Structure 1
Amino acid sequence: MKGKILIVEDEKKLADVMALYLRKENYNVTCVYDGEAGETAILNYDYNLIILDIMMPKKDGWSLLRKIKAEKNTPVILTTARGEEEDRIFGLELGADDYMVKPLSMRELVLRVNLRIKNRMSSNNNANFSFETMNINEINREVFEDNIIIPLTPKEFDLLLFLCKNPNQVFSRDHLLNKVWEYDYTGDTRTVDTHIKKLREKINFCNKHIKTVWGVGYKCSIE
């Protein structure tokens, strides 16, 4: 797969057509059809690019764009039936990477997506880490094993990256919560155990190399 794309578009037929063309280009595409579903997807998963409609039920594209740019580093292509200059400028000022006015040309959409993905990948050539059959791209936030992309939640990715960038060091659960979740946690630390379990289930490398240090925490054991 060339990358993961989220389409947030309330016109289901249009979203499905966009997904069809992008899947033909070997992209992994997810479609959601209102702003609330878009927010859930954005907060819980990582994508290489987001195609975002502005006028949607439940939550508009402007609100989602602000949230994306506040919490992610994901390129966004805005789509709208309105082509006024003020809207285009406002979207770009909020951090949109591109802007397309409906009706959309599917050929142009594919070209713009390819360009954005290519530009992001070319700027991330030094952000790759390889461990046996597993590869991590830090900026694209992608993990591959045996050249197959592994779907991870944002915190699963953050935890894996932190352990792999600090090999053979033992970290307590409290320390991992502080570094990965970025807060001091004084309650139940089982959330770390749950995320470690998921990584081991999803990635063979993690099953072999993320070790439990009894009474202390975890480490990524790399010879």
Structure 2
Amino acid sequence: MEKLKILVVDDESRMRKLVRDFLIRKDYEVLEAGDGEEAVDLFLEEKDIALIILDVMMPKMDGWQVCREIRQYSKVPIIMLTAKSDERDELLGFELGVDEYISKPFSPKILVARVEAILRRTGHKEQEELLEAGGIVIDKAAHQATLDGNPVELSYKEFELLTYFLENQGIALSREKILNHVWNYDYFGDARTIDTHVKKLRSKMGEKGEFIKTIWGMGYKFEVDR
């Protein structure tokens, strides 16, 4: 299934990078624009953008004008970002057909949660919810793992770790990469916390724990023995 495209529009490159990094972790394709004119041109050129994250205060053309321009052609979901916390701005946004309105500063995780909620509501979010390998089945929607049809009790991080392994079968993953994807920016500390979680995960998986191979001096690789 093709990745859903999200257009991030903000004149601050640091802000675009922060939002982009969180969205890419959730397997979205991210397009960027640094001003309103570029955003409109990119939207009209691409045509299959699923959602727009749009800053209000920008050079050349502000977010409100971008919204007006795009609404002439499309009802694509729009999340508006603003440094102002002004009720009039919020009302104007909804009048222009803005789906969500988020004031800066904001939590990137909350923003991503809003993105996913809107895409589910608009029928776009139908990404693969079941993963299977070697008798292990991950149901992402139910947050449940089974081994040969038998449920296995995993902690939240163990489930996320196993899911990440199944999504990257056969790929060597460094501890740092695992830490960035499973723990995001929540954890600041020793990457050896991965080893502790892998040890617990292996013990709960029984003989299937052998699918998680140790790559000495680097990290791990999930591989089903044929």
TM range, normalised to the smaller chain?
A: 0.5 to 0.7
> Which structure has the greater CA radius of gyration?
2
Among the aligned pairs, what percent are the same residue?
A: 38
Counterpart residue number, 2:166: none
Matched, 1:120 2:133: no
| Alignment counterpart, residue 70 of structure 1, candidates 72, 81, 92 | 72
Structure 2 counterpart of 1:70, one-letter code? Q
Matched, 1:111 2:113: yes
Segment drifting more, 56-65 vs 35-44: 35-44
* Distance in 2 between residues matched to 1:69 and 1:36, nearest whole Å: 15
Preserved CA contact (<8 Å) 2:51 2:76: yes
Counterpart residue number, 1:10: 11
Preserved CA contact (<8 Å) 1:16 1:31: no
Give the direction of change, closer, same or farther, for the CA distance of 1:122–1:57 in structure 2 (3 Å limit).
closer
Offset of residue 2 of structure 1: 4.2
Counterpart residue number, 2:24: 23
CA RMSD of aligned residues (A): 1.6
Q: What SS does the corresponding residue of 1:121 show, helix, strand or coil?
A: coil
Preserved CA contact (<8 Å) 2:116 2:125: no
Give the direction of change, closer, same or farther, for the CA distance of 1:32–1:122 in structure 2 (3 Å limit).
closer
* Distance in 2 between residues matched to 1:2 and 1:117, nearest whole Å: 12
* Distance in 2 between residues matched to 1:15 and 1:80, nearest whole Å: 14
Query: Any stretches of 5+ residues in structure 1 without a counterpart?
Result: 125-223
Offset of residue 123 of structure 1: 10
> What TM-score do the two structures reach when normalised by structure 2?
0.53
* Distance in 1 between residues matched to 2:19 and 2:119, nearest whole Å: 16
Counterpart residue number, 1:194: none
Structure 2 counterpart of 1:108, one-letter code? I
Counterpart residue number, 2:142: none
Structure 2 counterpart of 1:7, one-letter code? V
> Superposition pairs for residues 153-172 of structure 1, below 5 Å?
none
Task: For residues 17-47 of structure 1, give each alpha carbon's deviation from its aligned partner in whole angstroms, at most 9, with x where no partner exists.
Answer: 1000000000000111111111111221120
Counterpart residue number, 2:93: 91
* Distance in 2 between residues matched to 1:17 and 1:55, nearest whole Å: 18
* Distance in 2 between residues matched to 1:22 and 1:123, nearest whole Å: 14
Task: For residues 159-189 of structure 1, give each alpha carbon's deviation from its aligned partner in whole angstroms, at most 9, with x where no partner exists.
Answer: xxxxxxxxxxxxxxxxxxxxxxxxxxxxxxx
> What TM-score do the two structures reach when normalised by structure 1?
0.53
Query: Any stretches of 5+ residues in structure 2 without a counterpart?
Result: 127-226
* Distance in 1 between residues matched to 2:125 and 2:75, nearest whole Å: 13
- Stretches of 4+ aligned residues off by more than 3 angstroms: none
Structure 1 counterpart of 2:32, one-letter code? C
Aligned residues: 124
Structure 2 counterpart of 1:34, one-letter code? D
